[in-house]
A and B are shown apart, each in its own frame.
Chain A
Amino acid sequence: MSDLHFKTITELAAMLAAGEITSVAITQAVIDRTAAVDAQVKAFLSSDPKDALSQAKASDERRIAGKSLGPLDGIPIGIKDTLAVKDQPLRCASKMLENYVSPFDATCIAKLRKAGVVIWGRLNMDEFAMGSSTENSAYQTTCNPWNLETIPGGSSGGSAAAMAAGEAIATIGTDTGGSIRQPAALCGVVGMKPTYGLISRYGLVAFASSLDQVGPFARTVEDAALLMEAMLSKDPLDSTSIAPQGETNYAAALKEKMGPWKLGVPQEFFAEGIDPEVKTNIEKAIDWYKSQGCEIVDISLPHSELAVPVYYIVATAEASSNLARFDGVRYGHRSDEAKDAMTLFTKSRGEGFGDEVKRRIILGTYVLSSGYYDAYYLRAQKVRRRILGDFEKAFEQVDAILTPTSPTPAFKRGERADDPLAMYLSDVFTISVNLAGLPAISIPSGFTESGLPIGLQVIGKAFGEADMFAIANAFEQSHGYYKMMPAL
């Protein structure tokens, strides 16, 4: 059966239920596809086809016994290298964790297993999720399947590229400042970041605890909704996880919620620095919603221009502390040069971390230092509350907010590698969403003239995932960009 690897979860679930196909066949198709294209795409850091096939076999046995676990049972899903899977490498694309194997499953992984998912492979990323191009991986640079010269975005670049290239039926990533949505936009797939607290962070290697969230990459909004349903939980192992509120039967609700919606468009997001092709594309998408009877409301998010500096204070401060545990004492890279405790720390960390990680640890250490804390960290937290206030005010008027996901389409490898500030601006439209803890989704909204995907971001209210999915689904189903596949 051809092109199984490009089918949606919903399509495959129907075929499985009808007995037209097996999970082993789907998994084999994904394994074969990966073998065929990953030398070019370089999305996977490692994979274990034998293990995936044995999970698929177990799924098929369940189905034959009439004990199917639902639409995700038997679907092979790739995992970003920052999420713990029992007995699999957990390297965060860093030399620091080169030989580290996790002894436990992240809560979201355990939840996916309960839904019967076939856990498939470790996906490349920027080291410790720090980056917007996946060029900061210590192991390899992932290529954008739409144009191998360009980057797939980041930090979940491996998850986005594997999705676009058909190397998995869906993938899981993490989003701290846009790390799911930006690569999803650049690779032409759906990528979604839930309300902070909706998915447990237990087993997600922390970058910035108050911003990190797990989320799905999928071919369609409906597939993403199904994955969200499987992963959400109030987890006793994560104090910041929150019991789901409101409508959580997201996939079913897609067919019920038909709009029309009141949609906000923040003028600040269409000003400077945005690529003209992206701007035109998103304006066209907004016009489409208008044509469908939606009310388009001009809104203002006046503090959004401070989102990037605030983010790089809060995120680096938390990261400097979160990454302190990688010291060569209990696990991870341990320098051969160490002579005492202090050189064990400094040498192991000096050798184990890459430049971007070091840059952010230094920045975070600085902003927390005595004498600077009030001026940087405390002030950043105050501005963060104002950014949230802007959104709350906007959501008094609108059901969701529409913005471009990324100011530009995929850029060339190496183009911004030496310019951290330019790289940081790749996330200018996504970062404020993390600072406010809101849900947002990026869906394909078309292509540039040179054939690079563009993404539309739909930002929802806190716990407003059901509406956000429905709004995104309406556009997706009428445009059908998800049916376009890169030629590899």
Chain B
Amino acid sequence: MPYEAVIGLEIHVQIKTRTKMFSAAPYQYGAAPNTLTDAVVLGLPGTLPVLNYAAIEKCAKLGLMLGCEIAEVCKWDRKNYFYPDSPKNYQLTQNEEPLCIGGKVEIELPGPSRNVEGDHRWVTLNRIHLEEDPGKLTHEAFETVIDFNRAGAPLAEIVTEPDMSSSTEAVAFLNCLRNMIVYAGISDCDMEKGQFRCDANVSLRPVGTNKLGTRTEMKNLNSISNVKAAIEYEIDRQTEVLKKGGSITQETRRWDVESSSSFPLRSKEEAHDYRYFPDPDLMPVQMDRSRIKELEAELPEPPLDKQRRYQESFKLPFTLTSVLCVNRELCEFFEEALQTHQAPRQIANYISNDLLRELSAASDSGDCALDVGQCKLTPSHIATLVKIIDEGIISKQIGKEVFNEMFVTGEMPDAIVEKKGLKQSNDIDEIEALCREAIAGNAKAVAQYKEGNVKALNALKGPVMKATRGQANPAMLDGLLKKMIDEG
């Protein structure tokens, strides 16, 4: 009996705010241990939580972006469990009524090859709720140390429906979701910094049936490749068990990166009773509908909508949109360049090929390209470059040279052309004279061209270009050569 996998994901996203969810203590990644705490974060006797409205608004914004319904009232529950990383031994979360209800995320599956766009589909969400991050435990040889810096950082938990059927879909979902969140400035979603964490629920069922099988939950998936590997491992493991006539135990499993395998962490029977109840320290907050409208208006165009628009309005191919549209800064750079010169295809080409190549080469490590904001080029640089090429002031060939120069110096392309004397030559007499020399000097190429080999003309163009230092107008040169040979 063939089985199909049913996958649901829970994603914890650290919301980018200046201070923590319930206190004025600042939050940032990488500070010295236990320096970003205060009496509230440490749960000292007598302290009370105070809401950070910025976190609520950012989470509402996330929900609006993902098509969720925003709750009328923002309420808080206590999730009670004892663990040393939890200063109060309860976590403030939203169990009963999440801030964002429902929602869906458009995903783009990989195409048959890198240059070909894959299918799109929607993954439905169950909910998004807010909660506070616990601290971080580090187990050392003879002791465990706790860093409470992270404790109380605002976390949005995005819960999908069991709506995916392969690791490929799960990975596509995570990539698309991450793009959208980064786009909207809600989180940087750096998985290495724990800003984007994923738990995966996996179950199997016979193909063609609807009833969900017993699921297992995989924790500790801190990279997209881990999510992929863990889901695939779990599908294989469950398939083996079922094929042997066994049954799946509902349990939480821990993914171990070292061994590329997972181990049971606790079974259903050992699951915590979290004794949820409404937090009596925080008053429910009425969500202001007019403020929600404002937040909605601030939302950026989702990346896949942008991609569609670029393809339709600007006739950009997928090979360009797939590079541009994953990066909001690049898109803004591109669209600003269009204000100076309406040549979408050529500008997009310069950005996604030349600019990105140089940004990557310019970074120290090589594996992490510089941001477009970190280089000396402005949209106007690229637009002007394309413009002077289109106007015949310089050739495409010279354009590459000008690009490299302006990337290093930040000078405007027209200034570089002026300074270095790179203007295209339209001096018909000079070019004609040079053509005559070239024809005279290469009878073989002339003969080949006459026989119908158009490429042979290149051998004649070479010396002309060399003599004009590449500045001869290529169209003029091409026309003259053909005319002279035909007439000659």
Contact = CB atoms under 8 A, between A and B. Distances in A.
Contact of B84 (A100, A102, A329, A373): A329
Contacts of B48: 201-202, 206, 237-240
A233 interface: no
Interface string A95-129: 00100101110100000000000000000000000
A324 B277 contact: no
B39 A104 contact: yes
Interface string B94-119: 00000000000000000000000000
A249 B48 CA distance: 28
Interface string A364-389: 01001110010001000000000000
A204 B90 contact: no
Contacts of B299: none
Interface in B204-248: none
A129 to B, nearest CB: 12
Interface string B71-93: 00000001010111001111000
A239 B44 contact: no
Nearest to A332: B45
A237 B45 CA distance: 14
B283 interface: yes
A321 B46 contact: no
A90 interface: yes
Given A240-B283, A321-B277, A369-B275, A102 B46 contact: yes
A219 B295 CA distance: 55
A210 interface: yes
Interface string A299-341: 0000000000000000001101100111101110000000001
Contact of A330 (B43, B281, B283): B43
B175 interface: no
B388 interface: no
B296 to A, nearest CB: 27
Contacts of B280: 208-210, 240, 318
A377 to B, nearest CB: 6
B82 A345 contact: yes
Interface residues of B, number: 30
Contacts of B277: 317-318, 321, 368, 373, 377
Q: Is the interface of A mostly helix, strand, loop or mixed?
A: loop
Interface residues of A, number: 45
Given A330-B42, A341-B144, A209 B78 contact: no
Contacts of B276: 368, 373
B288 interface: no
Given A238-B48, A325-B43, A365 B275 contact: yes
B51 interface: yes
Most chain B CB atoms below 10 A, which of A104, A330, A344, A377? A330
B369 interface: no
A100 B45 CA distance: 9
A344 to B, nearest CB: 8
A90 B45 contact: yes
A299 B82 CA distance: 47
Please list the 7 inter-chain residue pairs (A to B) with the smallest Cβ-Cβ separation, ordered nearest first. A324-B89, A368-B275, A209-B280, A210-B280, A203-B46, A84-B46, A205-B45
Given A104-B46, A206-B48, A240-B283, 8 more contacts: A203-B46, A240-B280, A321-B78, A324-B80, A327-B89, A329-B146, A330-B43, A369-B275
17 contacts: A84-B46, A102-B45, A103-B44, A202-B48, A203-B46, A203-B47, A238-B48, A239-B50, A239-B51, A239-B283, A321-B78, A325-B88, A325-B89, A327-B82, A341-B83, A370-B273, A377-B277
